[in-house]
Each structure stands twice: as C-alpha cells, then as structure tokens.
C-alpha cells in the first residue's frame, strides 16, 4: 500500500530538509551546486518523482488542460485529439480528455468535471447538434478558467475560437465544380440548426449565386440533411438520391468518410465518376486520396488549427489574473482546395 518514495524519503537520505529538496529539484539557484547535485543524484537513485496531486495542490496548478470532443470514433476528431495532446505536451501540460457524445447535457457535465479537476485551461470542440443555451459557459467564466473553442463555436457566446474557414472552403469547392461544368450540386449536409452546417451552406450558396448570372444552364443547389455523418450515411444517402433520377451532376459531402461512401454507392449503382457525376469531400483525410477514384476535397489544416488553439490558450493562461485582454478573438484558417480525379471535367 505504501505509495512511491516521497520527498521526505529523499530529504532524509540526503540529510537535508524537504524544503531544500524541493528547491534543488526545481532548479532554484539558491541551492549550492554541490548540494543540488547530491540531492538530484539521491532522488534519482531512490526513483523519486513528485506526486502531481500534492504538487498541484500546493502550487495551485494542476498541470492539466481539458479537451472535450463530441466523438472519438472518427479520423477527424482523432486527429484533433492527437495534435492537441502533442501541443499540450510540448507546453508541459497533460491532457485530460472527455467525450461528449454529441450530447449537450454530457458536455455540460464534462465541463463541471474539468473544473473539479482544476484544469488550468480548456479546449472545447462543440457538439454537432442544435444547442439552445450554453449556460455552463457562465460558470466557466466565473472560475476564470481560460477556454477556447475549436472546429466550431457557439454563436451565442463571445468566446475565442479557432476553426477552418468553412464558408470560404465550401465556396471555393463549389466554384471549382461549377468551373468544371457541373450545374446541379447536391450537398449531403448535417443538421441545418448547427452553425457549421449553416456556414458551409452559405459558402455553397455564395458560389452558386455568383455563377447563376454568368453561366447557363443555371446552377442549382439541393441540400439533404443527414442524421449521421459517417461512411455508411454517405453510402445510404447517395443511394437514395441517385435512385431518384434527379438531375444531379455533383455530390458534395460534409467530410471525406461520407464522400467515400457516396463514391462507392455511385460506383455500385453503375455511375461513371467523374463522367456522369462528380463527388467531393471535405477534410483531406488519408483515404480520400486513395479511393477507387481519388476524391477532391478541402484541407482544413488540422495540425495548425490545434497548435493555434493551444497557443491561444497558453496566452490566455498567462494573462489570466491580469486584466481581461480586450476582445476574445476568433481565428478562421484558410482552406486549401485539393483537386483530384473525382471532379474532373466530364
């Protein structure tokens, strides 16, 4: 039952006080070179390493930053977790992760747990569901724990965020399709009450609107709201759509999983891609490049997004305690269109 070696054991073994051990191990220059080295050596011999709980309690710093994601069974959020973890680690922080399961109530509870855990900062990837009120955020403000949103934000909140510029990305993607001669776009979309869906739709509409004047036949945009947003959903929805024999010559999806699903569905229905139908995804995940027909997509630069979020958080954590630093800022990352065969001119 005895836990590990404590600082007392080291102090005793080195014939000094615990204070000295603490100072020495934390590299405080007040400790004589020779003493420091002896203490460090002894600590190492004993296999001592400090109890983070006690350390956190005394320093009033847990060394923890919290990350909430709606889902972990997708490449997209997997990447987010990985990069945030990496960036947090580089800044000397340990990540504590929680999964909200796309459920507002769960998300609220998670934030509460994070607060109890004394996280020093918080990164939230919001759920992809309509959310009326984000009351937990008020509590968060009270605790003064810095928080930044990633991949999306809650419009009712004035809080910093960093996300991909989905409007620009969707727009440039649609423009590409239109420039390749496509006219009847269909967007396999998410819940229309969710902010990111709205942003994406706005981008697509923008492109269609601009094109409508210049080109004939007139471009159209059909939107299908899907419940789930995974591979199977893309497959099913594309099947449903294509069997209707509507004048659709391009399918755009919310992510690459769905695009791959839609592509495979179209192929098994006998469609020629890109001859009869273009398919485009979003996120530039690994498999979009290696599909039967490589899929055009938009890169979100998740790596950069995560690093910026962590940087922003670190800055806020440092400023915390000082005055509020003006407006919380939102960062939109530029999209990068990745053109592949699935959208070539027919």
Residues of this chain that bind a second copy (CB under 8 A): 1, 3-4, 47, 49-54, 56-57, 60, 62, 72-75, 77-79, 81-82, 85, 94-99, 112-113, 115-118, 139, 143-144, 230-232, 235-236, 257, 260-261, 264-265, 267-268, 286-287, 289-293, 320-321
Instruction: State the binding partner of 176 from a second copy, DNA, none, CB within 5 to 8 A by kind.
Output: none
Contact string (CB under 7 A) for DNA, positions 26-65, x = contact: x---xxxxxxx-----------x-xx--xx-xxxx-----
Query: Of the two residues 53 and 246, which places its CB atom closer to a second copy in the complex?
Result: 53
Query: Of the two residues 20 and 167, which places its CB atom closer to DNA in the complex?
Result: 20
HEC sequence for the chain: CCCCCCHHHHHHHHCCCHHHHHHHHCCCCCCCHHHHHHHHHHHHHHCCCCCHHHHHHHHCCCCEEEEEECCCCCHHHHHHHHHHHHHHHHCCCEEEEEECCCCHHHHHHHHHHHHHCCCCEEEECCCCCCCCCCCHHHHHHHHCCCEEEECCCCCCCCCCEEEECHHHHHHHHHHHHHHCCCCEEEEEECCCCCHHHHHHHHHHHHHHHHHHHHCCCCCEEEEEECCCCCHHHHHHHHHHHHHCCCCCCEEEECCHHHHHHHHHHHHHCCCCCCCCCEEECCECCHHHCCCCCCCEEEECCHHHHHHHHHHHHHHHHHHECECCCCCCCEEEECCEEECCHHHCCC
What is the smallest separation between the CB atom of 47 and a second copy, expressed in angstroms? 7
Instruction: State the binding partner of 46 from a second copy, DNA, none, CB within 5 to 8 A by kind.
Output: none
Query: Of the two residues 63 and 346, which places its CB atom closer to DNA in the complex?
Result: 63
Phi then psi dihedrals of residue 148, to 5 deg: -125, 145
Query: Of the two residues 19 and 72, which places its CB atom closer to a second copy in the complex?
Result: 72
Query: Of the two residues 10 and 207, which places its CB atom closer to a second copy in the complex?
Result: 10
Per CB under 7 A, does 16 bind DNA? yes
Instruction: State the binding partner of 18 from a second copy, DNA, none, CB within 5 to 8 A by kind.
Output: DNA
Per CB under 7 A, does 18 bind DNA? yes
Instruction: State the binding partner of 16 from DNA, a second copy, none, CB within 5 to 8 A by kind.
Output: DNA
What is the smallest separation between the CB atom of 268 and a second copy, expressed in angstroms? 5
N- to C-terminal Cα separation, the chain? 71
Instruction: State the binding partner of 47 from a second copy, DNA, none, CB within 5 to 8 A by kind.
Output: a second copy
Instruction: State the binding partner of 23 from a second copy, DNA, none, CB within 5 to 8 A by kind.
Output: DNA
As beta bridge partners, residue 242 has none
195-254: contacts with DNA (CB under 7 A): none
| Residue ranges binding DNA (CB under 7 A) | 3-8, 15-20, 22-23, 25-26, 30-36, 48, 50-51, 54-55, 57-60
């Amino acid at each position: 039952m005895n836990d590990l070696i404590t600082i007392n054991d080291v102090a005793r073994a080195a014939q000094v006080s615990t204070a000295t051990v603490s100072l020495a191990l934390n590299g405080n220059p007040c400790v004589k070179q020779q003493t420091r080295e002896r203490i460090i050596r002894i600590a190492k011999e004993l296999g001592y390493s400090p109890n983070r709980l006690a350390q956190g309690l005394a320093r009033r710093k847990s060394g923890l930053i919290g990350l909430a994601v709606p889902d972990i069974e997708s490449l997209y959020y997997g990447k987010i977790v990985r990069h945030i973890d990496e960036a947090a680690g580089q800044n000397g922080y340990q990540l504590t992760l929680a999964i909200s399961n796309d459920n507002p109530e769960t998300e609220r509870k998670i934030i509460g747990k994070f607060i109890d855990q004394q996280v020093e900062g918080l990164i939230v990837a919001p759920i992809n569901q309509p959310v009326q009120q984000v009351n937990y955020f008020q509590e968060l403000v009270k605790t003064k724990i810095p928080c930044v949103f990633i991949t999306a934000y809650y419009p009712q909140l004035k809080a910093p965020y960093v996300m991909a510029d989905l409007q620009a990305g969707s727009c440039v993607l649609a423009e590409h399709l239109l420039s390749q001669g496509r006219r009847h776009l269909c967007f396999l979309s998410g819940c229309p009450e969710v902010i990111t869906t709205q942003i994406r739709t706005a981008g697509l509409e923008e492109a269609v609107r601009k094109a409508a004047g210049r080109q004939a036949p007139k471009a159209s945009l059909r939107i299908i709201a899907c419940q789930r947003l995974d591979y199977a959903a893309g497959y099913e929805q594309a099947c449903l759509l294509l069997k209707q024999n509507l004048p659709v010559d391009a399918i755009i999806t919310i992510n690459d999983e769905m695009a791959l699903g839609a592509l495979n569905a179209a192929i098994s229905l006998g469609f020629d891609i890109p001859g009869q139908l273009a398919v485009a995804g979003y996120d530039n995940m690994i498999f979009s490049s290696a599909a039967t027909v490589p899929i055009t997509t938009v890169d979100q630069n998740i790596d950069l997004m995560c690093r910026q979020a962590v940087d922003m958080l670190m800055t806020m954590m440092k400023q915390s305690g000082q005055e509020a630093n003006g407006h919380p800022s939102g960062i939109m990352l530029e999209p990068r269109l990745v053109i592949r065969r699935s959208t070539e001119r027919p």
